[in-house]
Amino acid sequence: MKGKLFFLMLVFVVPAMAQVQQRNQLGPKLGFGYYNLAYGSSSKQTGLTRTLDSLQVGNTALNIGVSYKRRLTRELSLATGIELGKYQVNYLENSLPSLAAYHQKLLQLNVPIGLEYNIITDNWQPFFGVYVQGSKIIQSEMDYILQQGWNTTTLQSYLPATTWLYGMAITAGAQLPIADHWTFEPAIWATYSLKSLAANNLIQRPYQLSFQAAILYTF
């Protein structure tokens, strides 16, 4: 009787925990969210940054990339990857002289590196993580739509004073096994740049809130 119970435990427990014991995970990820620029506290804002901060409404963020994770211990993982982010910042319509609308568009390469702590259960793994992230802005555009009576849209290439950024990110999510060696991973991300886009006293620090999902192959 004891032998049968032990066999049943192996049948139900080992498959559920098998993916936990594997050391590597690799796969594509896709994220959608909100992107904006922070201008610092009100006490440190200049007249220009106060104006920009009051007019800015932010816009969408799209991230496409690859995620890699290496299990260090049963609960702790080293995680990294590479992703391409497409971001847009909008300003309130008809808020600037002669302009009906004003958009800033950024294309950015991100490399996050961090540690994740996994809470091991029988069927799924909640986790939370802390990351540092390096970024490179590879394209930036300003899109002006002029007031009625003027000419059409003006599209201008524009690179900020700083194109290399570094920042911090926190994440929380779960890993859900969907097949042998395959795992679905939804997660919430919050990212904040510690480096300003602008030079001198003008502070423009990007931040992002997003939902990301990955399909990881475990091996």
106 half-sphere exposure, CB direction, 13 A CA radius: 29
Q: Which residue segments constitute the domains of the chain, with CATH numbers given?
A: 24-218 (2.40.160.20)
Confidence of residue 204 (pLDDT cuts 50, 70, 90): confident
Contact 107, 84 (CB under 8 A): yes
Q: CA–CA separation, 61 vs 25, rounded Å?
A: 25
Across 36-45, 133-142, 204-213, least confident range: 36-45
127 half-sphere exposure, CB direction, 13 A CA radius: 27
Confidence of residue 200 (pLDDT cuts 50, 70, 90): low
pLDDT digits over 164-195, tens only?
999 999 999 999 999 989 999 999 999 999 99
pLDDT digits over 148-166, tens only?
555 555 556 666 778 899 9
* Phi then psi dihedrals of residue 11, to 5 deg: -65, -40
Which residues lie closer than 8 Å to 88 by C-beta, 6 or more apart? Answer: 35, 59, 60, 61, 103, 104, 105, 106
Instruction: Please indicate, yes or no, whether the overall pTM of this predicted structure exceeds 0.85.
Output: no
Contact 118, 79 (CB under 8 A): no
Measuring CA to CA, which residue among 85, 118, 86 is closest to residue 17? Answer: 118
